[in-house]
Amino acid sequence: MGLTRGWRPALVGAGAATVALAAIVAALGPALTVIPIEVLRLVVGALLLVFGLQWLRKAILRASGWRAIRDENAVFARERAEAASAPRVEHAGLDWYAFTISFKGVLLEGLEVAFIVLTFGSTQGSIPLAALGAGAAVVLVVATGLVVREPLSRVPENTLAFAVGVMLTTFGIFWGAEGAGVDWPGGDASLPGVLAFVLLISLGFVTALRRRRLAIA
Amino acid sequence: MKRFATFWWDFVVGDDWRVAVGIVVAFGLTALLAATSIPAWWVLPLAVAAVLWLSLRRVVRPPDRNEPT
């Protein structure tokens, strides 16, 4: 948006979304801490599981060649062309198209991150620690971007998506089962076992689907 | 209102609603088993593996067996 429609409406939109996001987190964060931990783990586990399986499903299909790997350069070129051709309508002295696209993008992506941070923090009893982890990730990503100075297309996006899908699915299984009344053998020590199981079946599915594709080709 | 509902449907359920249904059924089965003396920890991992595989299989089936989109 900044490159195609101007930086002012894009930055105002992103800033407004950040403020909205902070307000939502400030309202929901304390509310989560009063929900019984078993109920919270059940709901959070179920949501992490459906999110995680969405990520994992797409990542497995891409890794096995059944769905095309996203071409970030092509996506950037297409979206830039769409943004450049959109009609210019002004509200409050701002290019409304650039403002709303920036606002929605930051708010929606931010909501997903906020959901993960709040739920991980509240189920493990430390929202500040989860927020610290998220902050450290932001610093790390920005620092890596500044040091490496490579285009977005060089980021191994599908590997990242695969890893995120495995992690979300693992925590979803673990907390969801606990919320449903399960006692894991060995307690928290079984978490690496669940992670290994999810990783192995996912890699197995990639191999099986890749073989299937090669057999058809 | 319809767009709002569609957004939340896409955000939570995603491409394959059968995955969400499968997870809900698996949670129900887990809760039922957990209320008995039978260990229930194995239900959810196996259900996740089954639901994921079935969802993937739907995508890679030959075209003539796919449902119209």
Residues A57-83: pLDDT tens digits? Answer: 999 999 999 888 777 777 778 888 888
pLDDT tens column, B44-61: 999 999 999 999 998 887
Domain with A116 in it: 2-216
Chain B residue with Cα closest to A54: B14
Dihedral (CA of A121, A122, A127, A131) sign: positive
Q: What is the ipTM of this complex?
A: 0.84
C-alpha span between A216 and A105 (Å, rounded): 39
Provide, as residue numbers in chain A, all residues whose Cβ is less than 8 Å from the Cβ of B44. Answer: 173, 176-177, 180, 182
Provide, as residue numbers in chain B, all residues whose Cβ is less than 8 Å from the Cβ of A56. Answer: 52
Residues 6+ apart with CB under 8 A from A208: A64
Distance of CA A66 to the CA centre of its chain: 22
Residue A210 near residue A64, CB atoms below 8 Å: yes
Structure tokens at B48: 């996740």
**Stated pTM of the model:** 0.73
A169 close contact with B: CB closer than 8 A: yes
Nearest by CB to B12, from A50, A66, A202: name it. A50
A203 close contact with B: CB closer than 8 A: no
Tell whether the model's pLDDT for residue B69 goes beyond 60.
Answer: no
Kindly calculate the radius of gyration of chain A based on its CA atoms and give it in whole angstroms: 20
The segments of chain A whose pLDDT lies below 50 read none
C-alpha span between B60 and B4 (Å, rounded): 31
CA distance B56 to chain A (A): 7
Nearest by CB to A212, from B48, B52, B60: name it. B60
Q: How many domains does chain A have?
A: 1
